[in-house]
Amino acid sequence: MPYVLGNVAGLALVMGTLVSGVRWLTTGQPPRMLGPTVARAQTWRASRRPASEPIPPILLAMELSRLAAHIRRVEAGDQPRKAERLMAARLAYDHALRDYCRAVDIPVPTAIRGLSREQRFHMESALIGAGHDW
């Protein structure tokens, strides 16, 4: 009987560990017992990482211009999966637009995915109003 209880306890421990591991992989939150160790490791890794250099606004303007031309080509073209191509191009444009606005100190909306047409219009208007073009 003690042998069976030992196996059940071992199986429960293994299952609990697997569930905690899967939860960590899917949510990004480590198990409670590993929390302080993971936090120290992340702090150490962040201190060893070199600071990234900001991208000059002129390069961001060139990228924005290239992506705008790409969007126009996708809209005018008749390649397969046009909707997916257009969505990907607009997401890339939105990302570059946000980076450009951040580089020139223009407030950026906190959208997780792409920007709405209104947000995009306001950001483009703010850039043009500040004397930037692409």
Q: Over the stretch 11-27, which tens digit does the pLDDT of each residue have?
A: 888 888 888 888 887 88
Q: Are residues 40 and 66 in the same domain?
A: no
Percent of the chain at pLDDT exceeding 90: 53
Q: Is residue 134 part of a domain?
A: no
Question: pLDDT tens digits for 4-61?
Answer: 556 777 788 888 888 888 888 788 788 888 888 988 988 998 888 888 888 899 999 9
pTM exceeding the 0.75 threshold for the entire prediction? no
> Using an 8 Å Cβ cutoff, are 94 and 123 in contact?
no
Domain of 101, in residue numbers? 57-129
Count of domains in the chain? 2
Cα–Cα distance, 30 to 21 (Å, whole number): 8
**72 and 21, same domain (yes or no):** no
Question: Would you call 113 helix, strand, or coil by DSSP?
Answer: coil
- The residue whose two tokens read 């450009």 is 100
Are 41 and 13 within one domain?
yes
119 & 83 share domain: yes
